[in-house]
Amino acid sequence: MQTLQNIEISTKLETIRVSALHALAYCPRLFYLEEVEELYTQDAAVFAGRRLHAELEKQEDEEWEELFLVSEEYGIRGRVDALRTRDGETIPYEHKRGRCYRDENKQPQAWESDKLQILAYCCLLESALGISIKEGRIRYHADNVLVRVILDDAGRELVREAVKKARQLQQSNYRPPVTDNERLCTRCSLSSVCLPEEARLAHDKEWQPVRLFPEDDDRQVIHVLEPGTRVGRTGEQIKITRRNQPVEIIPARQIGQLVLHSFSQISTQALHFCREQEIGVHFISGGGRYIGSFDSRQGSIQRRIRQYSALVDSHTCLELARRLVICRAQGQRKFLMRGKAKAKTSERLTKAISQMKAVLKLIPQAESLESLLGYEGNLAALYFGALPDLISPDAPREMVFNDRNRRPPKDRFNCLLGFGYALLLKDVMNAILTVGLEPVLGFYHQPRSQAAPLALDLMEIFRVPLVDMTVMASVNRNQWDVKADFDIRGQQVWLSETGKRKFVELYENRKQETWKHPATGYSLTYRRLMELEVRLLEKEWMGEGGLFAQLIVR
């Protein structure tokens, strides 16, 4: 009996949504992203379509029926939103916001994806209700045209073939290639996930990509810095209760991340709500150490299978690691060169720049991750050894440092670097979880107790532009109060609450600045570039690589 129940459940799961067949006819890659990898976005066009249907439902002079049906015969299911009965004939309707297709004689026709969708609804009605359906109708509201689509044997076969193709794609671990019709991509709600223009650029270096990736996420990053703060939910809003301060209420749609520092708390209800609203939740200790992130990913196992298959290959890992080390070291060297041009040149700075150039030439010949780690160590030592020479002579002597030390920081400069790297690691983790990759499957860094290897890998690209340059600029501009902004505990130096608040503001402002991507040729904020870089990394094992780790400080 249990076996029969399992078979029945399995059969039901195999049915294909009629709306998914529309995506299949529009672009097989779109179908795969939505139905197999379970990736969805809701852009303005999606919401506009919903509003159109809602408005139609309110019209009192129309008699509409709504049915949810399943057909085991065709293997499809769907909700027929607009169904009318006239003169004994049952007619399904589809409403589209856009314009119809016009043939060579300028006669209105249905687009192929719309045609397949209405035919599938016709077949669904016939099969599930046992009635005869002669036609379906599509109303294109932009040009107020009604197109009739006849259901005949050819139409039924078209639906069966589409379902067959859909099932084949569901069993595949590989995304279909980008469509040849570029115009489809500009209207696709998943272009920011698919990155079709970047895929074309990977295969054709002369391609001039159009930026389809969203320019910025204008939602706020909320840092909860005060110990004892409680974060909860009230309706569709996030409620922040700080000690001895007025309660702060923020609409969820305005929040992109919640960053909880020190001993602040968040309720279970708020966590569930943040997951629903796609709000990243991250935790940082009172000492400025990244602790972890709330992982709300679900589905999309095919993507992690591909990631695992690629990153267990030592050759792939070594090639990606070489690019990563070159990207970071070239950025470090060019930052030193900037300082050399602006400040009085020291012998140590000049020597470090020259030696880094020599070591960089050896990296492409590194034959193992171990040897690469050795080169990276040499480069880091040269960089941090010369970095103090970029500090202005007018900066307070308390802000000067001699070498890089980690935890606990022994001077104010290292304290700023450490806190900045913790915030950067948090942002990179947020990008990885947003994209849906597996953070523990990296290609260069080895597993460790706190940070995930993939996050440590990817943050190397952004250390110099987002943290090192921000810290150096703030020190040279005398933006720090050496007493009020720091908490000195013996030989340890930590940021005070006012210091953290100041650093967060500097860092978040820096993230909003734009950087022109050298490979794609378009500009994005640093905040968006992090997500783009994760998506470009994924393309490295999908036959669309070559653009990853090209962000180098000029």
Cβ proximity of 404 and 417 under 8 Å:
yes
Q: What amino acid is encoded at 182 in this protein? A: E
Residue that wins the pLDDT comparison between 471 and 204: 471
Tokens standing for 160?
A: 């069966």
In terms of average pLDDT, the best of 190-199, 303-312, 420-429, 487-496 is: 420-429
DSSP assignment of 87-141, as one string? TTEEEEEEEESSPPEE-TT--EE--HHHHHHHHHHHHHHHHHH-----EEEEEET
The CA distance from 373 to 212, in Å, is 37
The Cα diameter of the chain in Å comes to: 94
Q: Residues 418, 463: contact at Cβ < 8 Å?
A: no
What single string gives the DSSP state of each residue in 154-186? HHHHHHHHHHHHHHHHHT-SSPPPPPS-HHHHH
Q: In 3D, which of 332, 333, 330 has the Cα closest to residue 322?
A: 330
The predicted structure's pLDDT at residue 207 = 87
Q: Does 314 have pLDDT greater than 90?
A: yes
Per residue in 479-499, pLDDT (tens digit) is 999 999 999 988 899 999 999
* DSSP tally for the chain: helices H, then strands E: 19, 20
pLDDT at 327 over 60: yes
Encode pLDDT of 139-185 as tens digits. 999 899 999 999 999 999 999 999 999 999 998 888 899 999 999 99
How many whole angstroms separate alpha carbon 552 and alpha carbon 554?
6
Question: How buried is 83 (Cβ within 10 angstroms: 0-12 exposed, 13-18 middle, 19+ buried)?
Answer: middle
Average pLDDT, stretch 534-540? 95
* Spans of all domains in the chain: 11-171, 220-284, 301-539
The residues pairing with 145 across neighbouring beta strands, listed in sequence order, are 140
Q: What is the pLDDT of residue 50?
A: 45
Q: What is the share, in percent, of the chain residues with pLDDT greater than 70?
A: 91
Q: What pLDDT, on the 0 to 100 scale, is given for residue 495?
A: 95
Mean pLDDT, all residues of the chain: 88
pLDDT band of 60, cuts 50, 70, 90: very low
DSSP code at position 444? S
Q: What is the pLDDT of residue 341?
A: 65
pLDDT of residue 2: 37
CB 432 within 8 A of CB 454: yes
DSSP string, 458-517: HHTTTIIIIIIHHHHHHHHTT---TTTTEEEETTEEEE-HHHHHHHHHHHHHHHTSEEE-
Q: Does pLDDT of 67 surpass 90? A: no
pTM of the model: 0.85
Q: In terms of Cα–Cα distance, which of 433, 155, 403 is closest to 275?
A: 433
| Confidence band, pLDDT 50/70/90 cuts, at residue 63 | low
Structure tokens at 455: 């996050």
Q: So what's the pLDDT on residue 14?
A: 79
**Strand pairing class (255-261; 145-150):** unpaired
Reported as a single tens digit per residue, the pLDDT across 85-97 is 877 888 999 989 8
pLDDT digits (tens, 9 = 90+) for 230-286: 999 999 999 999 998 999 999 999 999 999 998 899 999 999 999 999 999 999 998
Q: Is the domain covering 11-171 a CATH 3.90.320.10 domain?
A: yes
Q: What is the pLDDT of residue 209?
A: 85
Q: Residue 404: its pLDDT value, please?
A: 87
Least confident window among 263-267, 384-388, 516-520 = 516-520
Q: Which CATH class is domain 301-539?
A: mainly alpha
Q: What percent of the chain has pLDDT over 90?
A: 66
Pick the CATH number of 220-284 from 2.40.50.140, 3.10.20.30, 1.10.287.40, 3.100.10.20: 3.100.10.20
